[in-house]
Amino acid sequence: MIKQNNVSSNLIGRDFLTLTNYQPEEIMYLLELAKEIKQKQKKGEVYQPLKGKVLGLIFEKSSTRTRVSFETGIYQLGGTGLFLSSSDIQLGRGETIADTAKVLSSYLDGIMIRTFAQSDVEELAKNASIPVMNGLTDLYHPCQVLADLQTIQEVKGTLAGLKIAYIGDGNNMAHSLMLGAAKMGMDFSTAAPEGYLPDDSIVKEAKAIANQSSITITTDPKEAVKDADVIYTDVWASMGQESEQAAREKLFAAYQVNEELLTHAKSDYIFMHCLPAHREEEVATAIIDGSHSVVFQEAENRLHAQKALMVALMAGA
Ligand code: CP
Ligand code: NVA
């Protein structure tokens, strides 16, 4: 089993709200642990370091992967997950986040939350005495990026020195992926129409983190994918932006990831998508269902990466 060291002891009890305050060696540790946990599962080995622990899962938005992978993950680790839809708990009727955090901390061992405002997740974490994990906000999706990095490492054998191109909306995925790439020494480029590029302050932050690698922001998708090892995209209208769907389809039409665009990538590129995908919008069916696509391996790794996260924060490996 992976050795306990300064890195692992520093993770116990921590929140995971964004990759910003996670050091590269801490991310690497989580990836190593995720690899081990995946291997154990493939061998049918029972690994239950979270026996008796309970994770609360607060959802203010829909989910397939995040909900099922966290619930399955905590169960496989020996614990139990409680699905807490915001429409069923008092949070949805105006109980404050701070009161919710204090009460839940007296019952649970960890909380995963998916909501709109990053500030709500921060408020929850500030008032909770147990680890809080961000299962997606409008600003970030750090759990997804752990699984993404695990997947890239599995397929490409390395992270540092690779180029990842994210084509599409400068959303939660773009932000967390850019931070993750910068932390792990990967070149990151992104293309979107003017006005839909990633948040300036997060670009600035990623540039400050990236010392050996580059961060490129452009409106030209061909420039972004040039010589890229990893091509990534996400929906053009995220949860909460449904009313903008039609307008965004027009605006983003030139940003579809398709065969023509990918002639500019490296010939052995891999295609990634956090899912759910809208085929024939942000990605051509031939690409997402094609031989370069690793989207289902990526989705599976949500389970392994989040099991590592829960073990590291809620128990210590
Ligand atoms: N990628 C992801 O987070 O999927 P869900 O919205 O299904 O959880
Ligand atoms: N950007 C998407 C990601 C879904 C996993 C959304 O926020 O809806």
pLDDT at 304 over 80: yes
In the chain, % of residues over pLDDT 90: 96
User: What element of type H or E holds 97?
Assistant: helix 97-105
**67 has catalytic annotation:** no
Residue among 234, 248, 273, 304 flagged as catalytic: 234
Are 148 and 88 in a shared domain?
no
What was the pLDDT predicted at 4? 76
Per-residue pLDDT, 147: 99
CATH of the domain at 227: 3.40.50.1370
- In whole angstroms, how far apart are CA 153 and each of 77, 89, 112, 187, 297? 24, 39, 25, 15, 12
Q: Are residues 206 and 287 in the same domain?
A: yes
Structural domains counted in the chain: 2
pLDDT at 317 > cutoff 60:
no
Residue 58: the pLDDT is 98
Closest by CA position to 257, among listed 245, 237, 271, 275: 271
104 with 180, same domain? no
55 lines ligand 2 (CB under 6 A): no
Ligand 2 contacts CB of residue 283 (under 6 A): no
Domain limits for position 218? 142-298
Provide the Cα torsion 59, 64, 68, 70; round to 10°. Answer: -50
Average pLDDT value for residue range 231-256: 98
Q: Identify the CA nearest to 172 among candidates 132, 208, 145, 205.
A: 145
Residue with more model confidence, 315 or 203: 203
Instruction: Give the atom of ligand 1 at the shortest distance from the alpha carbon of 136.
Output: 3
Within this chain, do residues 69 and 208 fall inside the same structural domain, yes or no?
Answer: no
Report whether pLDDT(256) > 90. yes
Tens digit of pLDDT for each residue in 58-94?
999 999 999 999 999 999 999 999 999 988 999 989 9
241 labelled catalytic = no
